[in-house]
Chain A
Amino acid sequence: MTNVEVSNLCIRFGSNEVIKDLNLEVHAGEFLVLLGPSGCGKSTLLHSIAGLIDVAAGSIRIGGKDMTWAEPTDRNIGMVFQSYALYPTMSVEGNLSFGLRVNGTPKSEIQRRVLRAADMLQLTPLLRRKPSQLSGGQRQRVAIGRALVREAGVFLFDEPLSNLDAKLRGELRRELKLLHKNLGSTMVYVTHDQVEAMTLATRIVVMRSGNIQQIGAPADVYERPENLFVAGFLGSPGMNFLDGKLTISAGSAIFSALNMSLDVGAYDFRGPAATGQDVILGVRPENLMLQHDGAWEAKVSLIEPMGNHHVVWLDFGGTSLSSIVSGALSVAVDQNVRFSVDVSRITLFNRTTEQRL
């Protein structure tokens, strides 16, 4: 079981400082997901752990050994690429064994490892085929197999599911999760898809512009986001945001916006809050309920049927809010409805700093 420690990492492209003073620890055996929009530096971070990009400053330790300047092949890692990068003119068996053959591993050992990997990934009947004769899912398995035969301590994944269609993506995602359960190896996985992150990760690292916004288990990052960016990035449809003011008086806290107010006394404030400050109230669609006796009123602007639930979009004085309604729907478009909010599941943000209160 191998861990990874990234300390004070700085990566520069020309004069552009892409990653600055980044610290991250990947625990042994965990499935860590680097999540963020394009250009946030997640892929760069992964490539630097792999040794494919040089660091400007800082250090990378893998399995307790300093690997900052080690060649990728000496880092005890395996990597799966977005395009899989299988050697097109070699068979599956050739792809799996090429690295081992070149490095002089004895034939018996090569065979043992290849057959073991093939067995774990159900590739045994496909060993003679060429990559062009494989399906997308099979190709992914070969790519993973190539990392497996290296008997690496850490597996790195660079958006491996991005090139696939939605249905296949779901299937392969579940295969990956099973694989992690069976292997128990440390895995670092890069994606921009928050569904992949939520379902696969032991911990999620949300990144933006080269900085880590939050690290935590999926539930934590989802329910207790550190800032506005993290809150808005996870969840589909995204979290509802309402601008308003916070009024603190003896023993009570009130959030007021437009013509409504909400008692947020039960909210878990980090520290003492200033009264009169501008805040943003965040509430997820599943925690915004349409109720006959709801405290506030809005007009239904759009309804999206999703099969097992509906997404109802409301126009609340110019702000667009969404609500997830499971089961049968009893409202219609342009109808005025009443709704309420689950106070125990809201998040309050400082409007200027965008940080959680």
Chain B
Amino acid sequence: MNRKKRIGPARWGIYAFLIVSALFFMMPLYIMLVTSFKPMEEIRLGNIFAWPVSFTVEPWVTAWTSACTGVACEGIRGGFWNSVWIVVPSTILPILLGALNGYALSFWKSRAADILFSILMVGAFVPAQVMMFPLVRILATLGLFSSLPGIVAIHTIFSMPVMTLLFRNYYQSIPQELFNAARIDGGGFVRIFLQLMLPLSTPIIIVAAIMQVTGVWNDYVLGLVFAGRDNLPMTVQLNNVINTTTGTRLYNVNMAATIFTSLVPLTIYFVSGRWFVRGIAAGAVKG
């Protein structure tokens, strides 16, 4: 009896499903790109799937420099810089606090801290709207409402559960003996953190950074409420560009603006590959 052929109908079926699915997932990206390089007449008359006949980068220029994001018509570049100003501190601070929390929880155990952590974990599931009004009032009282420090504080609050969980789980995989040896060598709380644990944390810091940058950059509702008119992130401005226009809708400009807004997280995704997936898996292990 000879060996059976490996390539059977089942195999073709698998590839067919995978390829059709791939087309489904690729289609919107393709459409986004193709639309953004077409002049409006072509869009009005033509087929959304068609390749641009008269290729133009006008929509990109318009989106960046002169699209109307509410009151002003300066393009979406303002939003880009706003997002950058929001994302950088909103990544550094939560990571720092997450590492500190995770470190304290893993190695300097206390009942009270564990209880607080459990509440924090439940907090991760609470929808933002539940806490929104009180947070608005608190920030207003502190004079931080509608300000950059305010939105950074908000992002820190809302990402503390995930960041703490990430670092805590990571530190729990570090052998207790290492910590014990450091204590015997005379290390205290601060010294062990700065000289031993933080240097060991590079992988999880990378993962946390990827998750945080992506999450904060893509945020809409928190930026909408807390950032203030001068600091509106790109996602909010994008929505303004597209959904609050009077007059004719410039679909090509819209798509260009959408791509601009997605460039940062998409680039991170394509560049970081496996780290991105690791972040998903780590963040998904809740408790």
Contact = CB atoms under 8 A, between A and B. Distances in A.
> Touching in the complex, A and B, CB below 8 A?
yes
Interface of A: 54, 66, 69-70
A69 B5 CA distance: 12
B1 A54 contact: no
The interface size bin for chain B is: under 10
Contacts of B2: 69
A125 to B, nearest CB: 36
Interface string B1-14: 11100000000000
B84 to A, nearest CB: 49
In order of increasing CB-CB distance, the 6 nearest A-B pairs are A69-B3, A69-B1, A69-B2, A70-B1, A54-B3, A66-B1
Contacts of B1: 66, 69-70
Contacts of A54: 3
Which applies to chain A's interface (DSSP): helix, strand, loop or mixed?
Answer: loop
Contacts of B3: 54, 69
A306 to B, nearest CB: 31
Contacts, number: 6
Contacts of A66: 1
Interface of B: 1-3
A62 to B, nearest CB: 13
Contacts of A70: 1
Nearest to A71: B4
B265 to A, nearest CB: 38
Nearest to B1: A69
B4 to A, nearest CB: 8
A15 B2 CA distance: 22
A69 B3 CA distance: 6
A23 to B, nearest CB: 22
B3 to A, nearest CB: 5
B8 to A, nearest CB: 14
5 contacts: A54-B3, A66-B1, A69-B1, A69-B2, A69-B3
Nearest to A55: B3
Nearest to A66: B1
A69 B6 CA distance: 13
Greatest chain B CB density within 10 A among A54, A66, A69, A70 is at A69
A69 B4 CA distance: 8
B266 to A, nearest CB: 37
B136 to A, nearest CB: 49
Contacts of A69: 1-3
A295 to B, nearest CB: 52
A66 B1 CA distance: 9
A119 to B, nearest CB: 37
A339 B154 CA distance: 83
A243 B22 CA distance: 68
B109 to A, nearest CB: 28
A54 B1 CA distance: 14
A69 B2 CA distance: 6
A278 B3 CA distance: 51
B7 to A, nearest CB: 15
A70 B3 CA distance: 8
A101 B3 CA distance: 27
A47 B30 CA distance: 48
A105 B3 CA distance: 27
A143 to B, nearest CB: 28
A54 B2 CA distance: 12
A54 B3 CA distance: 9
A55 to B, nearest CB: 10
A52 to B, nearest CB: 14
Nearest to A70: B1
Nearest to A67: B1
A129 to B, nearest CB: 28
A71 to B, nearest CB: 9
A66 B3 CA distance: 13
A51 to B, nearest CB: 11
